[in-house]
């Protein structure tokens, strides 16, 4: 099978809708060659992330958790801080990553995602 490239234009669309489209494409569900246990040669490019439609309420309410492994090591980062520090690109990457199944293929699928401002 030859490599497929999906380009998703994020301008004027919401964060979840774009991430959902990207996650489905990365898993291969938009392809006729879909197999659950194989990473298909599909690349997904998301463009115009700066033009996403995100409400102020969503930005204020969103948060991201991570755990350092130490006692009392749970760290919370608000979406507002994430956008200031790492731009919308990282917010989009984390959103798509949350929609990919947690298995051995996840890392390989996420390598095939590119996001551009």
Question: Tens-digit pLDDT profile for the chain (117 aa)?
Answer: 789 999 999 999 999 999 999 999 999 999 999 999 999 999 999 999 999 999 999 999 989 999 999 999 999 999 999 999 999 999 999 999 999 999 999 999 999 999 998
C-alpha angle with apex 113: 110 to 115, nearest 5 degrees? 130
Q: What is the pTM of this model?
A: 0.90
Rounded distance between C-alpha atoms, residue 107 and residue 9, angstroms? 23
Cα separation, 10 vs 48, in Å, equals: 5
């Amino acid at each position: 099978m030859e490599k497929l490239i999906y380009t998703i234009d994020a301008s004027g669309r919401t964060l979840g809708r774009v991430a959902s489209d990207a996650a489905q494409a990365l898993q291969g569900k938009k392809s006729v060659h879909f197999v659950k246990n194989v990473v298909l040669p599909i690349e997904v490019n998301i463009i115009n992330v700066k033009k996403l439609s995100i409400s102020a309420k969503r930005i204020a309410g969103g948060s991201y958790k991570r755990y350092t492994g130490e006692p009392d090591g749970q760290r919370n980062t608000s979406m507002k801080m994430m956008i200031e520090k790492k731009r919308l690109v990282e917010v989009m990457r984390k959103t798509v990553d949350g929609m990919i199944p947690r298995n051995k293929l996840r890392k390989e699928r996420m390598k095939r995602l590119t996001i551009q401002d």
